[in-house]
Amino acid sequence: MNSYERIYAVVRSIPRGTVATYGQVARLAGNPRWARVVGYALHVNPDPDGIPCYRVVDRNGCTSSAFAFGGSDIQKALLEADGIPFLPDGRVDLAACQWNPNQEIL
């Protein structure tokens, strides 16, 4: 499995109602130094319906200004539709909704 395939596998695992950071996806894909690679991979997402790249935000909870599907407003709208809370300054409330794969509900 190449690096992009590993990244896509992690992103497919992010549950609705949660987000992950680029660095978190990189670590879970096997290399904590791949945060930028995660961004590149998501920018060329071959399956937007199956790989929910809009659920990936930066380490501060900011959406991407270059979001592949029409800009940061689209990413924010998709996240809000997932039930993701935003702080008054427009960032995702990571404390409330950052995905923790070790706390999956059984």
Phi, psi of 56 (to 5 degrees): -110, 125
Among the listed residues 14, 41, 53, 57, the single catalytic one is 53
Tally helices (H) and strands (E) across the chain. Answer: 5, 2
For residues 31 and 42, give the distance between their C-alpha atoms in angstroms, rounded to a whole number. Answer: 16
**Active-site residue, 62 included:** no
**Residue positions annotated with a catalytic role:** 53
